[in-house]
């Protein structure tokens, strides 16, 4: 069985005149990431591997999750393929994951994550909000074979407040 965990980056700030990839998290984004990460711990959600977009907001959200989950930061893989807003690059990256890994957590962006959560899961999600997390299980042995899975969790900061 394979388990895919999508985590959208926390609420970012538009306050600074920086490139998109350099936008930081707002205080709300930091707090929301801690809230969802803590709920992940309560639900026993623990990845074997973690992959993140190189965008500042996605990396910061990821670091919050790693600390909360007590996941070793040295096992984090940062990849440009997850700096994707459509989903095709993310899907190709998922297909390339080593099959010896069964549970992965990805940190990235919308609309890619909402689109993939709806394409791969069995529950319609209108929007994966900032700091939102979707967990999907698949009854397959190869990442290339994931097609239609079961949406096990959909957590948002708003639900948890």
pLDDT digits (tens, 9 = 90+) for 56-76: 999 999 999 999 999 999 999
**How high is the pLDDT of residue 103?**
98
Range of the domain at 88: 2-160
Residue 16 above 90 pLDDT? no
Q: What is the pLDDT of residue 10?
A: 98
Q: Using alpha carbons, list the distances in angstroms from residue 78 to 55, 75, 144.
A: 9, 10, 21
CA gap 45, 22 in Å, rounded: 29
Query: What is the number of domains present in the chain?
Result: 1
Cα gap 104→75, rounded to integer Å: 12
Beta bridge mates, 12: 25
Averaged pLDDT for residues 7-26: 94
* Cα–Cα–Cα angle for 57, 52, 35, rounded to 5 degrees: 60
Provide the pairing of β-strand 150-155 with 2-8: unpaired
Q: Which pLDDT band holds residue 3 (cuts at 50, 70, 90)?
A: very high
Weakest-pLDDT range from 13-17, 98-102, 130-134: 13-17
From residue 130, alpha-carbon distances to 13, 32, 97, 117, 148 in Å are: 12, 8, 25, 14, 24
The dihedral built from the CA positions of residue 52, 82, 60 and 122, taken in this order, carries a sign that is negative
Reported pTM: 0.97
End-to-end Cα, the chain, rounded Å? 32
CATH code for position 54: 3.40.50.1240
């Amino acid at each position: 069985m394979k388990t895919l965990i999508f985590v959208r980056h926390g609420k970012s700030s538009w306050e600074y005149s920086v490139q998109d990839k350099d936008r930081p998290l707002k205080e709300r984004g930091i707090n929301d990431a801690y809230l969802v990460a803590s709920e992940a711990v309560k639900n026993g959600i623990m990845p074997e591997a973690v992959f993140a977009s190189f965008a500042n907001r996605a990396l910061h959200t990821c670091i919050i999750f790693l600390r909360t989950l007590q996941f070793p930061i040295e096992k984090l893989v940062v990849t440009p393929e997850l700096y994707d807003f459509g989903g095709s690059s993310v899907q190709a990256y998922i297909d390339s994951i080593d099959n010896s890994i069964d549970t992965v957590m990805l940190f990235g962006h919308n609309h890619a994550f909402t689109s993939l959560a709806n394409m791969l899961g069995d529950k319609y999600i209108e929007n994966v909000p900032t700091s939102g997390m979707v967990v999907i299980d698949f009854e397959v042995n190869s990442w290339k074979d994931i097609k239609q899975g079961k949406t096990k969790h959909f957590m948002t900061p708003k639900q948890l407040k």
